[in-house]
Amino acid sequence: MNERISKVRVTRGTNLGRLAAGQAVKTAGTRLSMIGRSDHARAVLAERSTMRSAEQLVTVLGNMKGVAMKLGQMLSMLDVDLIAEPYREPFREKLSALRDQAPEVPFPIMRKVIEADIGPLSKAFVDFDTVPIAAASIGQVYRATIRDGRQVAVKIQYPDIDKAVKADVQNLALFGKLMRPLWPTLGDNAIFDEIARNLETELDYLREARTQHSLARQYSGHPFISIPDSILDLCTPHVLVTEFVDGAPFEQMRALPSAERDRLGEVIYRFYIGSMFSNNEFCGDPHPGNILLAPDGKVSFIDFGLYNRMDSVNVDFERNLLRSSAEQRADDLYELCVGRGVIDPASQTSAQDFIDYVYAVAGWHLVDEEITITSEIATSALVLAIDPRSSQFGGISHQQLPPEHVFSRRADFLTLGVLGQLSATNNWHRIAREWLYGEPPTTEIGRAIAQWQKSTVPQRPRFTTSAE
């Protein structure tokens, strides 16, 4: 790195903006103080328009299925404690209405869907619990036993959900207009286009079944990660059957001692973020409901409807963006983003402004220090990403991330939200250097994974570490 970043530990706190108080704004040490910028987030979320927008949000999305739950999951990452006290509980209630809104479809109706695809239940199952164990954005999940004795999870699409999703997609533009008074850049953001594209991908259960089967084979024998296999013979366009994971839910993981939460956080970070740089593929739906702690201590990941593969050119762009940021090469970062259309050179955004903005929203894995991720950091980063309104970041609001990178940024922010709910601590940058620079792992988990890969997985070509 070009400059040595000062040794300051970032821990819990309500005022992250003052962590590096006393240091010059443009010095490397202030990179720590940029992370989150919770003061700005608090100011934005405390506005009265927040409640008006929340009311409009619930009204517009109230009758939706797939889109409402997907947006509810994303918004549930927001730390409502950032909101001023008079508005906190009403906002929490309205947010809960979105997050918990799952279509209540009686089993007789759902049974018609599954039997239309595979025939009578007795043909494939010896036991089928008719009480759903979960409600996904486009289907309900049941527990059953197949004829060979294996316990399975059966996800069945809601009747006519494909029509509902297509109708929801048409309403996304209206949602963006309603949210623009609160977050002006949201209407110009590519996030709604990304949701529209990928919601329809989630409807393809056969694609998801093949993806999950491939991942189950890829992670077979992994020391820390397990992927339940799909039962391909029983999967259809409207029914997804996978091995059942009898694991502890995320809420129980949050109650574990800090050392164990740190361990789980590293595994989650490696799976959701590291896989893009290591394998050019990643899951775009990091969410607490998709993470279980298996009895053997492994982290089990489920739900791969939003699984994406990136062209190596786009992955290299992401890698070079993070490397130039971590090395504080502001001019190189600026030119890199101008070249990809992220920054309009005619705007008022300077190279220094842009790198400061990058640190504010992604500094948690750019700073070479041990950092505890809190829900406040996650919320602040998300607010700044979609609403960089301040004297320092005002020009950023006119920039545009290319569509091929919106999906990966969504995964990045949602992973940050998951880690924030765990309050996990690590030197995230030191882990990231494995896939940014090809450096050997510095953690016990990283070394164990490297040993497993060496003994079971053909070695991948190493990428170049030359500067962009």
3-state secondary structure the chain: CCCCCCCCCECCCCCHHHCCCCCCCCCHHHHHHHCCCHHHHHHHHCCHHHHHHHHHHHHHHCCCCHHHHHHHHHHCCCCHHHCCHHHHHHHHHHHHHHHCCCCCCCHHHHHHHHHHHHCCHHHHEEEECCCCCEECCCEEEEEEEECCCCEEEEEEECCCHHHHHHHHHHHHHHHHHHHCCCCHHHHHCCHHHHHHHHHHHHCCHHHHHHHHHHHHHHCCCCCCEECCCECHHHCECCEEEEECCCCECHHHHHCCCHHHHHHHHHHHHHHHHHHHHHHCEEECCCCHHHEEECCCCCEEECCCCCEEECCHHHHHHHHHHHHHHHCCCHHHHHHHHHHCCCCCCCCCCCHHHHHHHHHHHHHHHCCCCCEECCHHHHHHHHHHHHCCCCCCCHHHHHCCCCHHHHHHHHHHHHHHHHHHHHCCEECHHHHHHHHHHCCCCCCHHHHHHHHHHHHHCCCCCCCCCCCC
Question: At how many degrees (to 10) do helices 375-386 and 403-422 cross?
Answer: 160
- Check if 285 is active-site: yes
Q: Pick from 324, 468, 341: which is nearest to 404 by CA? A: 341
> Do residues 251 and 236 lie in contact, with contact meaning Cβ atoms separated by under 8 Å?
no
Alpha-carbon distance 142 to 288, whole Å? 19
Q: Which of 285, 332, 353, 412 is catalytic?
A: 285
The residues pairing with 426 across neighbouring beta strands, listed in sequence order, are 371
The residues pairing with 127 across neighbouring beta strands, listed in sequence order, are 145
DSSP strand pairing (125-128 vs 139-146)? antiparallel
Cα-Cα-Cα-Cα dihedral sign, residues 201, 203, 206, 211: positive
| Residue 47: Cβ-neighbour burial (10 angstroms; 0-12, 13-18, 19+) | middle
Alpha-carbon distance 218 to 282, whole Å? 13
Task: Give me the active site residues, please.
Answer: 285
